[in-house]
């Protein structure tokens, strides 16, 4: 199909207009935070550091969940155009996760890497959160076209399945850090369960169809 | 000659923000409206309204070298789950709470139990200002100028019996006025307890105000406990019952997660919360964390209460 595309590719609108718009939208939470820090710190409440750290964590989680919505939307709504935004969305999830970790290390730990290591080893919710981040690093690194080519499609795909354990770790990290009100962590975990459940179901159905087709083929041969 | 060296933990004078700057316009209007209404009532604590000045408060030496946290922060960043679990919930939802009329039931092992009206509980005592550090178990802290009375003086009036080893406290149960109590966030009503010698320690006060004003609802109006060497959750708010008991009483957070919140819960940098370090704390208003002091810096006054106890593994 691609080969027969006209000179002015239909994807041009996506590339030239939609992508910059989505990029700006994804960056806006960060821009708001930066603006608030500089011009309106009272918007961040009495403990602006805690606010900023949690804010970045929240947005990392939201972007990860949005990234995981891409495949279901593509398949359920027959809207393959969304796939073209997946890399950007995933990289924004990583961007906010990195900011979350950076602010924690800088402002809560004053860059004391020994204390960070102690946290990772001793505190389970930080162990789990760090695990999520570590799982996301290779995905961010290999998000370029060059890496897709180097790894080859199937291997790259397999590697990027790491997003699922990463997302589970993120949900767990959030759940474990809350003291008593678990409603919000449960909502996020519930959404993730739907997103992962969808994949389990569609994959099982696809496998079933394949097996049925094979059985039919065998029967017709017999 | 006295030469005073600034401790690294001291706040520079340049960092002090005048209180007035922190009070935003809306808070000022609210205060003005409430004070205006309050002016029509007699100027005794029981008739006082939040925002109203408390008169005749004796200054004390406590915390004179500390920099106060802004009142704006102290009244907008609260853990008071009765009004919701978010720090901003209490300031948003405490407006409908009615701290008066109020009475406290005193019962248990004492010679003079009874239902005591707020005024009768407080007015026999001289109000004092106590500037205390408040260290939350969540590793943040504030400096608050409380107004209150020594709990020990109050306790003596009820003549506890010899076998009263502990004092138990209970928060009011009013789901209609306290939105957080409408769901089982915690096992309502909130309860806390102190050992008798902790309750009698001169540092322990019943707080009825702060910043020279009547206690705001979100900070535990009309009467709360203030125990500055323990994590904040021990300082139970909006007290309606004080009981003298022989055995260690229940405590809400302790029941919620016994391995995370001990009955004693003394501020202790050497005893980590299972999920985070207690070695450092963020003083509200500061960017980086500072070191947490044993007993929140009140070791001289209270460390002897725990001589010989294992405060890390057993009696944390």
Domain ranges, ordered by start, for chain A: 48-221
Q: Residue B171 pairs with which residues in a beta bridge?
A: B239
B76 contacts in A (CB within 8 Å)?
A: 45-46
With CB atoms and an 8 Å threshold, state whether A46 touches B186: no
How far is residue B65's CA from residue B143's CA, in Å, rounded to a whole number? 11
A115 contacts in B (CB within 8 Å)?
A: 277
Q: Which residues of chain A have a Cβ shorter than 8 Å from any chain B Cβ? A: 42, 45-47, 49-50, 107-110, 115, 118-119, 122-125, 176-177, 179-181
A124 contacts in B (CB within 8 Å)?
A: 275
Average pLDDT of span B120-143: 97
B138 contacts in A (CB within 8 Å)?
A: 179
Residue pair A49/B283 in contact by the 8 Å Cβ criterion: no
User: Degrees (nearest 5) of the Cα angle B133, B296, B290?
Assistant: 80
With CB atoms and an 8 Å threshold, state whether A46 touches B72: yes
Phi-psi region of B7 (alpha: psi -120 to 50; beta: other; left: phi over 0): beta
Q: How far is A77 from chain B (nearest CA, A)?
A: 38
Considering only CA atoms, which of A19, A99, A9, A18 is closest in space to residue A60? Answer: A99
Q: How far is B85 from chain A (nearest CA, A)?
A: 6
The list of chain A residues with pLDDT below 70 reads 1-11, 222
- Bridge-based pairing of strands B140-150 and B280-283 is parallel
Average pLDDT of span B169-192: 97
Residue pair B203/B273 in contact by the 8 Å Cβ criterion: no
How far is residue B194's CA from residue B186's CA, in Å, rounded to a whole number? 20
A46 contacts in B (CB within 8 Å)?
A: 70, 72-74, 76-77, 87, 284-285
Average pLDDT of span B235-258: 97
DSSP state of A38: H
Residue pair B276/B264 in contact by the 8 Å Cβ criterion: no
How far is residue B161's CA from residue A30's CA, in Å, rounded to a whole number? 61
**Which of A49, A130, A179 has the highest number of chain B CBs within 10 A, making it the mutation to test binding with B?**
A179
> Which pLDDT belongs to residue A213?
92
> Which pLDDT belongs to residue B43?
39
Does residue B29 have a pLDDT over 90?
no
Helix (H) or strand (E) holding A69: helix A48-77
Residue B222, preceding peptide bond in cis (omega within 30° of 0)? yes
Does residue B33 have a pLDDT over 90?
no
> Which pLDDT belongs to residue A42?
85
With CB atoms and an 8 Å threshold, state whether B87 touches A47: yes
With CB atoms and an 8 Å threshold, state whether A42 touches B24: yes
How far is residue B269's CA from residue A199's CA, in Å, rounded to a whole number? 46
Q: Residue B193 pairs with which residues in a beta bridge?
A: B168
B74 contacts in A (CB within 8 Å)?
A: 46
N- to C-terminal Cα separation, chain A? 37
Q: Which residues of chain B have a Cβ shorter than 8 Å from any chain A Cβ? A: 24, 70, 72-74, 76-77, 81, 85-88, 138, 140, 185-186, 256, 272, 274-277, 282, 284-285, 287-289
Helix (H) or strand (E) holding B56: none
Query: Could you say which of A47, A123, A181 has the minimum Cβ distance to residue B276?
Result: A123
Query: Could you say which of B85, B186, B289 has the minimum Cβ distance to residue A110?
Result: B289
> Which pLDDT belongs to residue B178?
97
With CB atoms and an 8 Å threshold, state whether A45 touches B77: yes
**Can you tell me which residue has the tokens 């060296």?**
B5
- Bridge-based pairing of strands B224-226 and B205-210 is antiparallel
With CB atoms and an 8 Å threshold, state whether A122 touches B272: yes
In chain A, the residue whose alpha carbon lies closest to the alpha carbon of B273 is: A123
| Sequence-separated (6 or more) residues with CB below 8 Å from residue B60 | B128, B129, B130, B131
> Which pLDDT belongs to residue B5?
52
Query: Could you say which of B87, B256, B289 has the minimum Cβ distance to residue A180?
Result: B256
With CB atoms and an 8 Å threshold, state whether B186 touches A180: yes
**Helix (H/G/I), strand (E/B), else coil: B40:** coil
In chain B, the residue whose alpha carbon lies closest to the alpha carbon of A42 is: B22
Query: Could you say which of A108, A119, A181 has the minimum Cβ distance to residue B185?
Result: A181
Report, at the CATH architecture level, how domain B45-306 is classified.
Alpha-Beta Complex (3.90)
| Sequence-separated (6 or more) residues with CB below 8 Å from residue B139 | B273, B276, B277, B278, B280, B281, B282, B289, B292
How far is residue B68's CA from residue B59's CA, in Å, rounded to a whole number? 15
In chain B, the residue whose alpha carbon lies closest to the alpha carbon of A37 is: B287
Q: How far is A31 from chain B (nearest CA, A)?
A: 20
How far is residue B214's CA from residue B221's CA, in Å, rounded to a whole number? 8
With CB atoms and an 8 Å threshold, state whether B277 touches A115: yes
With CB atoms and an 8 Å threshold, state whether B274 touches A123: yes
Where does the pLDDT of residue B47 fall: very low under 50, low under 70, confident under 90, or very high at 90 and above? very low
Count the alpha carbons within 13 Å of B71 in the hemisphere toward its beta carbon: 21
> Which pLDDT belongs to residue A219?
85
> Which pLDDT belongs to residue B4?
55
Q: How far is A123 from chain B (nearest CA, A)?
A: 5
Q: How far is B143 from chain A (nearest CA, A)?
A: 13
**Which of B91, B255, B289 has the highest number of chain A CBs within 10 A, making it the mutation to test binding with A?**
B289
pLDDT in tens, B9-18: 455 555 555 5
How far is residue B200's CA from residue B81's CA, in Å, rounded to a whole number? 27
């Amino acid at each position: 199909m691609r080969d027969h595309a006209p000179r002015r590719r239909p994807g041009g609108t996506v590339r030239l207009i939609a992508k910059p718009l989505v990029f700006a939208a994804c960056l806006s939470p960060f821009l708001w935070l930066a603006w608030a820090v500089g011009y309106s710190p009272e918007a961040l409440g009495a403990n602006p550091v805690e606010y900023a750290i949690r804010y970045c964590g929240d947005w990392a989680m939201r972007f990860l969940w949005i990234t995981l919505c891409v495949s279901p939307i593509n398949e359920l709504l027959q809207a393959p155009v969304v796939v073209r935004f997946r890399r950007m969305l995933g990289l924004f999830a990583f961007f906010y996760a990195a900011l979350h970790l950076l602010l924690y290390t800088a402002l809560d730990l004053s860059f004391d890497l020994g204390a960070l290591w102690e946290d990772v080893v001793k505190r389970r919710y930080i162990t789990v959160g760090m695990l999520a981040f570590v799982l996301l690093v290779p995905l961010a690194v290999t998000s370029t076209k060059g890496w897709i080519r180097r790894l080859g499609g199937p291997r790259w795909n397999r590697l990027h399945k790491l997003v699922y354990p990463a997302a589970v770790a993120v949900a767990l990290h959030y759940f474990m850090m809350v003291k008593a009100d678990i409603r919000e962590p449960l909502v996020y975990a519930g959404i993730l369960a739907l997103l992962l459940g969808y994949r389990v179901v569609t994959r099982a159905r696809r496998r079933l169809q394949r097996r049925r087709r094979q059985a039919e083929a065998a029967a017709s041969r017999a | 000659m006295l030469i005073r060296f600034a401790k690294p933990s001291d706040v520079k004078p340049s960092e002090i923000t005048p209180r007035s700057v922190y009070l935003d316009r809306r808070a000022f209007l609210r205060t003005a409206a409430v004070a205006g209404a309050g002016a029509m009532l007699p100027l005794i604590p029981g008739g006082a309204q939040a925002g109203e000045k408390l008169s005749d408060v004796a200054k004390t030496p406590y915390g004179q070298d500390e920099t106060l946290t802004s009142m704006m922060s102290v009244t907008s960043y609260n853990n008071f789950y009765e009004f919701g679990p978010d720090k901003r919930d209490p300031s948003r939802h405490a407006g409908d709470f009615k701290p008066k009329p109020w009475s406290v039931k005193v019962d248990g092992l004492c010679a003079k139990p009874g239902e005591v009206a707020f005024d009768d509980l407080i007015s026999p005592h001289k109000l004092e200002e106590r500037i205390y550090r408040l260290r939350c178990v969540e590793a943040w802290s504030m400096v608050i100028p409380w107004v209150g009375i020594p709990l020990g003086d109050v306790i003596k009036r009820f003549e506890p019996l010899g076998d009263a080893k502990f004092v138990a406290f209970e928060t009011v149960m009013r789901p209609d006025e306290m939105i957080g109590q409408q769901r089982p966030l915690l096992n309502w009503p909130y309860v806390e307890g102190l050992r008798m010698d902790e309750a009698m320690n001169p540092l322990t006060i019943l707080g009825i105000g702060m910043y020279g004003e009547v206690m705001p609802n979100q900070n535990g109006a009309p009467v709360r406990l203030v125990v500055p060497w323990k994590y904040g959750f021990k300082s139970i708010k909006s007290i309606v019952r004080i009981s003298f008991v022989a055995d260690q009483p229940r405590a809400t957070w302790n029941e919620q997660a016994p391995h995370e919140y001990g009955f004693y819960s003394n501020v202790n940098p050497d005893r980590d919360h299972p999920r985070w370090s207690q070695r450092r704390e963020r003083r509200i208003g500061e960017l980086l964390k500072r070191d947490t002091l044993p007993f929140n810096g009140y070791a001289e006054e209270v460390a002897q209460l725990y001589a010989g106890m294992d405060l890390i593994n057993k009696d944390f």
